[in-house]
């Protein structure tokens, strides 16, 4: 049985979206834990979310970027899909890097009070991730309906 490229793209895109929905759920649980002052569970949920997010980035997203910019042709910045892809890429990369830094800082700390000082960075990270996620859903729908 031979899988066509378009079938592979659909399967990989759908798997990536499902994982990102799980990441969204973990982020929601993490927020719930934080609101209930269960900071260790909050950190574990966020660590798991970041790891799963990195899996989707390295397993699928980095490989799909060249399909938008390949062929050596000039980039058409008037194309809404290209603009959405660029915004998704930039915001997602910043959110992922911030998430890795926040998780690393959490794991290396000895005093939980230092986490509270990073609240603004955490809020910025979740905002960027949310925008990147929404753009990713837009791109997913655009790809599967084309």
Query: 142 and 85 in contact (C-beta within 8 Å)?
Result: no
Could you give the CA distance from residue 48 to residue 105 in angstroms, rounded to a whole number? Answer: 15
Per residue in 77-122, pLDDT tens? 888 888 898 999 999 999 999 999 999 887 767 667 777 778 899 9
Could you give the CA distance from residue 58 to residue 61 in angstroms, rounded to a whole number? Answer: 6
pLDDT at residue 67, as a whole number? 63
Locate 2 and state its tokens.
Answer: 């031979």
pLDDT at residue 92, as a whole number? 92
- What's 73's DSSP letter? P
Contacts of 68 (CB under 8 A, 6+ apart): 81, 82, 85
User: Which residue, 113, 96, 12, 109, is CA-closest to 49?
Assistant: 96
Mean pLDDT of the chain: 85
Could you give the CA distance from residue 116 to residue 11 in angstroms, rounded to a whole number? Answer: 40
pTM of the model as a whole: 0.82
Could you give the CA distance from residue 110 to residue 78 in angstroms, rounded to a whole number? Answer: 49
Mean predicted confidence (pLDDT) in 52-80:
77
């Amino acid at each position: 049985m031979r899988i066509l490229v378009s079938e592979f793209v659909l399967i990989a895109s759908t798997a990536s979206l499902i994982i990102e929905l799980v990441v969204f759920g973990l982020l929601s649980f993490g927020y719930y834990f934080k609101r209930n002052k269960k900071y260790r569970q909050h950190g574990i949920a966020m660590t798991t979310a970041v790891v799963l997010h990195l899996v989707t980035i390295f397993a699928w997203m980095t490989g799909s970027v060249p399909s938008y910019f390949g062929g050596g042709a000039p980039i058409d910045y008037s194309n809404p899909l290209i603009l959405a892809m660029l915004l998704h890429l930039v915001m997602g990369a910043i959110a992922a890097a911030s998430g890795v830094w926040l998780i690393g800082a959490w794991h290396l700390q000895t005093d939980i009070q230092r986490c509270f000082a990073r609240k603004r960075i955490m809020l910025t990270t979740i905002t960027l991730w949310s925008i990147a996620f929404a753009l990713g859903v837009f791109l997913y729908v655009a790809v599967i309906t084309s």
